[in-house]
């Protein structure tokens, strides 16, 4: 034992303990949301005893939870903002909690947190799936897609809206676009989160939302919530059975669909989009993307496992791989935009 120890280069196991603290962080976040800690702070900065009194909780527990939330960057301590420390810590919402953890916010993540519990159940099968190669489910098949996606598509709105809005700004600056109205196809639209900012940007922009009928009911509700429903038409069905008019669209969006289609269907889908775009039109692809060497970022690489668990053929693509797939489908130019704090770049290809 001593001999073996002497052969090791000793270092603390922080790369492992950092991973393990993730499960505690999840409990801190979900408990705070469910106990109403964030809601209790909407009236303004509050101390732990006052939060506890308001919510009928134990003072010590609230204080420990609130300190952990500060450490996790989900709350601020207003008594530390440039002032001498007061005797009692006072907690307040920060930008993240105000935007994503308050029920009245249009980007509240409550529904996604519940969805995350479902994903967790699927992930518990990882060992078995790696042993057998059999996925837990096949969301790339129509029946499962119609069951899963109405809920999932709505739950992930807050994950992507901020990036989707930034993409519209980026494309406008890059293309120095005039005020010409755009004809957009949101293919596998789900909630329509990637096309809503196009509709908001110019009231004359028109979006065709293609998805299964059960999902389009959700698309309708969410576009109404964002006050853009009048700019949408619905294209119900499986894209593999829908014939599109050639050269019709200025922009086609593929938001988080390629990862469930797999390589062969992705080739077909890119060719399908190429035919339906106007010459000079733009294809927008949003995906969780590993770097070209497949060494980072962890979330994108683990998303590859997520799709291994959830589909028969799903996979993730690097920018290099997507570039060659788009060029092979006929696109002339492929580029990416990596905004600050994006999980992955968004990729564009020009017809």
Ligand X SMILES: C[S@@+](CC[C@H](N)C(=O)[O-])C[C@H]1O[C@@H](n2cnc3c(N)ncnc32)[C@H](O)[C@@H]1O
Residues that bind ligand X (CB under 6 A): 145, 149, 153, 156, 160, 188-191, 193-194, 210-212, 215, 238-240, 255-257
Nearer residue to ligand X within complex by CB, 188 or 244: 188
Greatest Cα-to-Cα distance within the chain, rounded to the nearest angstrom: 75
CB of 134 to ligand X, least distance (A): 20
- Return the number of the residue (53 or 144) whose C-beta is nearest ligand X: 144
Least distance from ligand X to the Cβ atom of residue 351, Å:
20
Closest of 152, 228, 149 to residue 195, by C-alpha: 228
Q: Which is nearer to ligand X, 68 or 311 (CB)?
A: 311
DSSP state of 203: T
State the nearest-atom distance from the C-beta of 297 to ligand X, in Å.
19
Considering the complex, what minimum distance in angstroms separates the CB of residue 119 from ligand X? 12
Residue 57 or 235 having the CB closest to ligand X: 235
Cα–Cα distance, 206 to 183 (Å, whole number): 5
CA 38/CA 23 separation, integer angstroms: 20
- Cα–Cα distance for residue pair 286/194, rounded to 1 Å: 9
Q: If you write DSSP's letter for every residue of 289-312 in order, what string do you get?
A: ---TTS---HHHHHHHHHHHHH-S
Distance between the two ends of the chain, CA-based, in angstroms? 64
State in angstroms the smallest separation of the CB of 191 from ligand X: 5
- The distance of closest approach from Cβ of residue 16 to ligand X in the complex, given in angstroms and rounded to an integer, is 31
Q: Classify 280 in phi/psi space as left (phi over 0), alpha (psi -120 to 50) or beta.
A: left
- Which is closer to ligand X, CB of 250 or CB of 261? 261
The angle, 0 to 180 degrees and rounded to 10, between the axes of the packed helices 59-71 and 48-55 is 120
Instruction: Tell me how far CA of residue 42 lies from CA of 45, 86, 93, 244, in angstroms.
Output: 8, 21, 7, 48
CA distance linking residue 281 with residue 265, whole number of Å: 22
Beta carbon nearer to ligand X, 185 or 257: 257
**CB-based closest residue to ligand X:** 190
* Smallest distance, ligand X to C-beta of residue 27, A: 26
Return the number of the residue (66 or 329) whose C-beta is nearest ligand X: 329
């Amino acid at each position: 034992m001593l001999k073996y120890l002497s052969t090791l280069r000793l270092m603390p196991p922080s790369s492992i303990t950092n991973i393990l603290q993730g499960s505690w962080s999840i409990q801190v976040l979900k408990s705070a949301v469910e106990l109403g800690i964030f809601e209790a702070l909407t009236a303004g900065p509050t101390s732990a005893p006052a939060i506890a009194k308001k919510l009928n909780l134990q003072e010590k527990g609230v204080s420990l939870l609130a300190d952990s939330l500060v450490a996790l960057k989900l709350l601020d301590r207003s008594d530390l903002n440039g002032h001498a420390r007061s005797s009692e810590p006072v907690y307040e919402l920060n930008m993240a909690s105000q935007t994503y953890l308050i029920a009245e916010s249009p980007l509240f993540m409550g529904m996604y947190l519940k969805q995350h519990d479902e994903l967790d159940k699927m992930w518990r099968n990882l060992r078995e799936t790696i042993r057998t190669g059999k996925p837990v489910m096949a969301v790339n098949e129509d029946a499962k897609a119609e069951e899963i996606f109405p809920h999932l598509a709505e739950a992930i709105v807050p994950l992507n809206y901020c990036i989707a809005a930034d993409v519209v700004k980026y494309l406008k600056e890059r293309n120095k676009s005039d005020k010409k109205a755009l004809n957009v196809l949101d293919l596998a639209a789900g909630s329509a989160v990637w096309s809503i900012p196009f509709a908001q940007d110019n009231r004359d922009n028109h979006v065709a939302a293609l998805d299964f009928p059960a999902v389009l009911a959700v698309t309708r509700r969410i576009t109404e919530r964002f006050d853009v429903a009048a700019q949408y038409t619905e294209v119900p069905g499986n894209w593999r059975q829908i014939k599109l008019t050639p050269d019709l669209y200025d922009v086609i969006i593929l938001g988080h669909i390629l990862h469930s289609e797999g390589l062969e269907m992705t080739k077909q889908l890119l060719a399908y989009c190429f035919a339906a775009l106007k010459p000079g039109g733009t294809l927008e692809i949003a995906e969780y993307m590993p770097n070209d060497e497949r060494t980072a970022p962890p979330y994108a690489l683990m998303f590859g496992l997520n799709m291994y668990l959830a589909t028969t053929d799903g996979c993730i693509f690097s920018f290099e791989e997507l570039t060659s797939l788009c060029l092979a489908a006929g696109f002339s130019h492929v580029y990416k935009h990596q905004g600050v704090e994006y999980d992955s770049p968004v990729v564009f290809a020009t017809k």
